[in-house]
Amino acid sequence: MLLPALLGFLIFFVTPVFLSFAYSVTDWSVYKPDINFIGLRNFAELFQDKSTVSAIEHSIRYAIIITVVQNSLAIFFAVALNNKMRTAGILKSVFFFPAMLSILVVGFLFQYIMTSLDYGLLNRVLGFIGLASVNWLGDPKLALYSVLATQVWQWTGWAMVIYIANLKSIDQGLFEAARIDGASPLQLFRSITLPLLYPAVSFNVLMSLIGGLKVFDAVFAMTKGGPGYASETIMTTVIRTGFNSGRAAYACAFCVVFFIIVFVMTRILIALFDRWGKSIA
């Protein structure tokens, strides 16, 4: 029964990964019928190209910021809504609803909201309250962070639901005993809630980091990597060089670099979480 799924995994995942490593040391291109071994020339060119180096920097910065901001907000909302509130159910639905939308739909929606033209909703609101318009998607210093803000809005509710599920499994007797001993709400959170959220935190942080590193849809919908290369990420650069420019081997080399970055960053996180888990135990 596992064989069909295993074959699909081997054909559509494992094989392309190994082929990417193999093609990364060749000069394969859609414009050249012959494939020749060129060693590490693609990797040397990659790290000499300012646009690709910027894409790596943007992806790492984007992934770290969205991981910290999204999980901080999700934990805050989860703790707040885990209390018995009349509107808790409605608020949970409201926060989770954006995660049900397509990333491209959200991207195109916020492209309309953040446009610097006269019909841009966000700038119209700023003008209504007497503030100057902001070029959210056209300013090289703001474009990447504008995209990041939309993804925080979309996925914070998804992480929040996971944290709430974890909170439901915590024994409330621990909180009652701590309150009897005179613990403040901050001490309750720091000494009981946060340590016991370890399973949800480790999962959400890893998923946020990996999702941030491979971001493509939102950037494509909102900025297409612009203005210039201000919001280029690893995945947008891979698509541009591999499909638009036809430099398949160069794109494979970039994929290998991406694989190494993801592997190293996730291993660091796993090691930190293992240490945290041992300290809790």
Which residue type is seen at 100?
M
215 in the Ramachandran plot: left (φ > 0), alpha (ψ -120 to 50) or beta?
beta
Residue 174: band (very low, low, confident or very high) from pLDDT cuts 50, 70, 90:
confident
10 within a domain of the structure (yes/no): no
Give percent of the chain with pLDDT exceeding 70: 100
Q: Are 261 and 26 in contact (CB under 8 A)?
A: no
pLDDT at 130: 86
Q: Is the pLDDT of residue 96 over 70?
A: yes
CATH code of the domain containing 235: 1.10.3720.10
7 within a domain of the structure (yes/no): no
Residue 281: band (very low, low, confident or very high) from pLDDT cuts 50, 70, 90:
low
Q: What are phi and psi of 216, to 5 degrees?
A: -145, -50
160 within a domain of the structure (yes/no): yes
36 within a domain of the structure (yes/no): no
CA distance 123 to 197: 39
Which residue type is seen at 45?
E
4 within a domain of the structure (yes/no): no
CA atoms within 13 A on the CB side of 15: 7
102 within a domain of the structure (yes/no): yes
Owning domain of residue 241: 54-280
pLDDT at 210: 93
* Domain count along the chain: 1
pTM reported for the whole predicted model = 0.91
CA distance 216 to 197: 30
pLDDT at 279: 80
Question: In which residue are the tokens 């694989």 written?
Answer: 259
225 in the Ramachandran plot: left (φ > 0), alpha (ψ -120 to 50) or beta?
left
Across the range 188-195, mean pLDDT stands at 89
For 215-250, give the DSSP string.
--HHHHHHTTT-STTTT--HHHHHHIIIIIS--HHH
Q: Is the pLDDT of residue 83 over 90?
A: no
